[in-house]
Amino acid sequence: MLELRPNCECCDKDLPPESTEAVICTFECTFCSDCSENLLRHVCPNCSGNLVQRPIRPEAALVNNPPSTERVLKEGGC
C-alpha cells in the first residue's frame, strides 16, 4: 500500500491525498510536479528512478487506509 506522503521532499509543499501535483518513484519518494519538472528533470535524486504521477486513493478508501502524516524533507532541499 502506498504511503501517500504529505509533502514534497524538495520544497515542502503540501501534497494531500487528492493532489494531482504529487509524483513518486518506485521507493515512494514524493515530490511536487513543479520540482520534478524544473529541478529534477523527472529523475528521483535519491534513487535515480523516474518520477511518475502518484495515483489518487479514492476518498472512501482513506477511512481504512489513511495517508501518512510523516513529513520527509531532504536536508538542504534539492
Give per-residue pLDDT as tens, 18-72. Answer: 999 999 999 999 999 999 999 999 999 999 999 999 999 999 999 999 999 999 9
Least confident of 4-13, 53-62, 69-78: 69-78
Order across the sheet with 22-24: list the strands. 30-32, 22-24, 52-53
76 has pLDDT over 90: no
The two beta strands, 52-53 and 30-32, are unpaired
Contact 11, 32 (CB under 8 A): yes
Residue ranges of domains in the chain, CATH in brackets: 1-57 (3.30.40)
Q: What is the pLDDT of residue 77?
A: 82
Residue with cell 536536508: 75
User: What's the whole-model pTM score?
Assistant: 0.94
Number of other residues whose CB lies within 10 A of the CB of residue 36: 26
